[in-house]
Amino acid sequence: METNNFEQRFLDICIAPNTVKNILKNAKVSERLAELLDLGGITSADKNVGNLLYTTSTKMPETAEAHSKFLVEYIREGKIDTTDRLNAAFDFLKSATGDLDTAKFDEACGVGVTVTQEQIDEFVNKVFEENKDKIEEEKWDFQFATFIHQARDALKWADGKAIMNSINKKTTEILGEKPKGGKKKKPKKPKPSKEESKNKEEEDDFEMYKRKSISSLIGRDLKDAHNKPEILEEHNKITGGKIITRFPPEPNGFLHIGHAKAMRFNFMMAADNDGFCYLRYDDTNPEKESQEYIDSIRECVGWLGYTPKAVNFSSDYFQQLYDFAVELIKRGKAYVCHQTAKEMQEGRKEGVDSPYRNRTVEENLELFEGMRQGKFEEGECCLRMKGQMDHKNSNMRDHVAYRIKYTPHPHAGDKWCVYPTYDYTHCICDSIEHVSHSLCTLEFENRRESYYWLLDALDIFKPVVWEYSRLNISNTILSKRKIDALIKEGHVDSWRDPRLLTLEGLKRRGYTPAAINEFCDCIGVSRKGNENVVDVKLLEHFIRKDLDENAPRTYCVTDPIRVVIDNMGDDEEISNEADLFPGNPEKGKITYTLTKSIFIEEADFSEEPQAKYFGLTPEQPVRIFSGPYIKLKEVVKNEDGSLSHLVVEKVDEVEKKVKGCIHWVSEKYSINARVNLYDRLFTHENPKALGKDWMGAINPVSLIVKENARMWAHLSDIKPYDRFQFLRKGYFTVDEDSTDDLKILNCTVTLSESKDAKNLKK
């Protein structure tokens, strides 16, 4: 497929330039969108059509792709003109076989159905009137978002923005303008510097990501998603109407940068709305979980600056979960099944009932109790939820609720031999904890039906569920399974390897909580699909920005060449002060002492002249930072022809302007150090896209170790996680394996190209 005109083609369908820029970073999405344009013969379109086509390129289920041409034509003709209709089209087409029944499709997607503004306003006026007394009593504390759900139930194909505008207008009409909470007017910002402008440009590339307002978290609506008035009233009585979220990692591995995004979203969404967030371990699989992971997760949550309202475990609710399972059986909504895993898989795929599906309630209760008492072997039977085996969403086809595992639990001990599944557990735990907003990534979107079906079957509180795009970062992988494979094959040392974007790896490399949180704020959350890849350069931008402000400057020579200054005495010393933070002398100074023998970088010397080379040569002197000019006198070599050392002389003046200014350390006042230089772990932007060949993109030089580096002796008392800028090199962090005898430093991030070039030419 011809790709060189993708950018113009996407701009011609009115997709925003910044969005186009991000689309072009993902070859799969770019090719898919271009394919859709070809199918529809589309060369130009308005913004709405363009965005719907882009959404189709990222979210259309694979099982629906056979009908791509049909759907594109409906979008082009304006028959599918909203995201709601598009999602309905996806649902219909992914299970459609043979010739399409267009009449049924039109009905399922509301094609041709028009809901007028008058109808919307009429409904909004009605619900406001019904709740008039409560609104007057609670004023701005009233949960107006419930009106949105009610309106979407009653006016299925109404425009969501029109509904929200009508509700907002009516709210203002009754309560007046919302109080601003005494916020101070922001002072006028000074004109940014060139560096700040450059940083702003990098951030502006991601301007489509914004922090969401709580009222905008509205997912695909379902009939089962709404609470009965009495249940909602009881929930508000218990919670005081507060916004409650949860961060629910499974303790089967270490957290990574994607978890930092989820953490940020959940904790800040609650904090922004005067609510709170729980940390809940979804510990339903005892075979894969360990105390090591539990401890690491707790530490990382605190390291990023979050304090959960409480730390809970799904296993804390095992008895309640078991009791709910018994209640499901009593209500005819669950049964014990003796099919093998393969038989269940085939039955669910074909939509065929289990032969055990119609057991009596009494028989199921007896068998389930037998499971709890250990009367069956692992895999011999399980408890399944009685959903709908012919449902178009396979997640509704009698998922397993409980299975037998004779494995002690790291938190609950050996009390249980039946364990609930994730699909059964997480929604009930959300309800037990009265979580108001259950926020998860888009791969769980097709579980909305089963989530709400279960809570509806038990007649318990239903949170708002909203899904957002998973975070993918370029040139790395975040999959726990693939990280395990990297460790087992020796490509990385452990989960804490600084080349990985696990939180412990990032911490060890020198990333700060502030930089990670600011990165998460910048990318925000969206529903653009799980295939978008964020360039790792954006993450690097934020740690570079942080350390530029907070890391003191000094020198380190990673590939040292010994240099003897011929016209200095053996004991002669010349001291000069320099700012720890250039331009900010009040933040401290450091003394660099020049002695007869010093070290410079191997790359800063060349025996042969080179074009645009500003280092030391036989014909070209250089200046050393915080010191004099030096001019080469002699190159001393060993018997084998290798370089022994250089002999130079210091001079106060030079005939021609010297462009090169290099860093150095004194032999007398320096110590040995090991420096780890890191690069991208993968050479391919999106190794996941390579399928089974993903390991072929591993960067063979992602780590270069400099065993004989030299740094100034005043750094001999540095501690793990101290950070510095080594001039002309980058930002470095002291590794936790450092000892008094050997300091180990990790390259956190290199200098930006512009600054590096600037320093080379000083």
pLDDT digits (tens, 9 = 90+) for 572-629: 999 999 999 988 899 999 999 999 999 999 999 999 988 889 999 999 999 999 999 9
278 Cβ contact list (under 8 Å, min separation 6):
244, 245, 246, 247, 308, 309, 310, 311, 312, 433, 435
3-state helix vs strand vs coil in the chain, percent to 5: 40, 20, 40
Residue type for position 590? I
Spatial distance between the Cα atoms of 140 and 744, rounded to a whole number of angstroms: 56
Of 299, 703, 261, 255, residue with least CA distance to 502: 255
202 Cβ contact list (under 8 Å, min separation 6):
537, 538, 541
537 by Cβ neighbours in 10 Å (0-12 / 13-18 / 19+) ranks as: middle
Q: Is the dihedral of CA 714, 720, 721, 727 positive or negative?
A: positive
Give DSSP secondary structure letters for 131-200: THHHHHHHGGGS-THHHHHHHHHHSTTS-HHHHHHHHHHHHHHHH-SPP-TTPPPPPPPPPPPHHHHHHH
Secondary structure E strands in 213-325: 244-247, 276-281, 311-313
Spatial distance between the Cα atoms of 685 and 694, rounded to a whole number of angstroms: 11
What mean pLDDT is predicted for residues 269-296?
Answer: 92
Spatial distance between the Cα atoms of 456 and 431, rounded to a whole number of angstroms: 11
25 Cβ contact list (under 8 Å, min separation 6):
474, 533, 535, 685
Checking if the pLDDT of 150 tops 50, the result is yes
Predicted pLDDT of residue 625: 93
* Torsion angle of the four alpha carbons 483, 746, 749, 556, in this order, in degrees rounded to the nearest 10: -160
CATH architecture of 480-550+673-760: Beta Barrel (2.40)
Predicted pLDDT of residue 216: 66
Count Cβ atoms below 10 Å from residue 44 Cβ, excluding itself: 12
Predicted pLDDT of residue 189: 47
730 Cβ contact list (under 8 Å, min separation 6):
747, 748, 749, 750, 751
Which of 186-200, 289-303, 550-564 shows the lowest per-residue confidence on average (mean pLDDT)? 186-200
- Crossing angle of the two packed helices 194-204 and 536-550, in degrees rounded to 10: 150
User: What distances in angstroms separate CA 520 from CA 210, 211, 258, 266, 735, one per listed residue?
Assistant: 10, 10, 9, 12, 25
Checking if the pLDDT of 215 tops 70, the result is no
557 Cβ contact list (under 8 Å, min separation 6):
599, 600, 601, 663, 664, 665, 670, 709, 710, 711
Predicted pLDDT of residue 307: 96
* Residue of 245 and 4 predicted with greater confidence: 245
CATH 2.40.240.10 fits 553-668, yes or no: yes
- Please work out, in degrees rounded to the nearest 5, the angle formed at the alpha carbon of residue 119 by the alpha carbons of 113 and 121: 140
42: its two tokens: 């589309």
CA atoms within 13 A on the CB side of 704: 9
233: its two tokens: 């009233």
Predicted pLDDT of residue 71: 93
Q: Does residue 599 contact residue 670 with C-beta atoms inside 8 Å? A: yes
Local structure of residue 106 (DSSP, 8 states)? H
Place of tokens 């969403």: 393
Checking if the pLDDT of 29 tops 50, the result is yes
The 3-state DSSP class for residue 718 equals coil
Q: pLDDT grade, residue 641 (50/70/90)?
A: very high
Q: Does residue 588 contact residue 580 with C-beta atoms inside 8 Å? A: yes
**The overall pTM is greater than 0.75:** no
Domain 6-109 top-level CATH class: mainly alpha
Residue type for position 584? N
Strand-pairing partners, residue 703, are: 678
Predicted pLDDT of residue 519: 94
Q: Is-same-fold flag (480-550+673-760; 553-668)?
A: yes
CATH of 117-175, one of 1.10.287, 1.10.10, 1.20.120, 2.130.10: 1.10.10
Spatial distance between the Cα atoms of 235 and 240, rounded to a whole number of angstroms: 8
Catalytic site includes residue 480: yes
CA end-to-end span of the chain, whole Å?
47
Of 252, 256, 316, 317, residue with least CA distance to 285: 252
- Please work out, in degrees rounded to the nearest 5, the angle formed at the alpha carbon of residue 571 by the alpha carbons of 567 and 575: 85
Give per-residue pLDDT as tens, 283-339.
999 988 888 999 999 999 999 999 999 999 999 999 999 999 999 999 999 999 999
Spatial distance between the Cα atoms of 533 and 472, rounded to a whole number of angstroms: 5
Predicted pLDDT of residue 758: 38
User: What distances in angstroms separate CA 622 from CA 563, 608, 712, one per listed residue?
Assistant: 13, 15, 21
Checking if the pLDDT of 3 tops 70, the result is no
Spatial distance between the Cα atoms of 160 and 168, rounded to a whole number of angstroms: 12
Give per-residue pLDDT as tens, 439-474.
998 888 888 899 999 999 999 999 999 888 889 999
Give DSSP secondary structure letters for 296-347: HHHHHHHHTT---S-EEEGGGGHHHHHHHHHHHHHTT-EEEE---HHHHHHH
Domain 317-422 top-level CATH class: alpha beta
* Residue of 177 and 92 predicted with greater confidence: 92
As a whole number, the mean pLDDT across the chain is: 88
473: its two tokens: 């970062």
Q: Does residue 511 contact residue 543 with C-beta atoms inside 8 Å? A: yes
Local structure of residue 597 (DSSP, 8 states)? E
Of 144, 269, 271, 143, residue with least CA distance to 214: 269
Give per-residue pLDDT as tens, 686-719.
998 899 999 999 999 999 999 999 999 999 999 9
Q: pLDDT grade, residue 98 (50/70/90)?
A: confident
Out of 203, 250, 540, 601, the active site residue is 250
Local structure of residue 219 (DSSP, 8 states)? -
Which of 137-151, 252-266, 652-666 shows the lowest per-residue confidence on average (mean pLDDT)? 137-151
Out of 386, 447, 470, 706, the active site residue is 470
What mean pLDDT is predicted for residues 659-670?
Answer: 94
Spatial distance between the Cα atoms of 594 and 567, rounded to a whole number of angstroms: 12
Place of tokens 């888009």: 442
Q: Does residue 245 contact residue 267 with C-beta atoms inside 8 Å? A: yes
* Residue of 245 and 97 predicted with greater confidence: 245
Domain limits of the chain? Answer: 6-109, 117-175, 317-422, 480-550+673-760, 553-668
Count Cβ atoms below 10 Å from residue 183 Cβ, excluding itself: 7
371-403 burial, b at 16+ Cβ within 10 Å, e below that, comes to bbeeebeeeebbbbbbbebebebbbbbbbbbbb
- Crossing angle of the two packed helices 160-175 and 117-130, in degrees rounded to 10: 50
Residues of the chain with pLDDT > 90, as a percent, come to: 63
Count Cβ atoms below 10 Å from residue 349 Cβ, excluding itself: 10
Out of 242, 309, 480, 762, the active site residue is 480
Predicted pLDDT of residue 714: 92
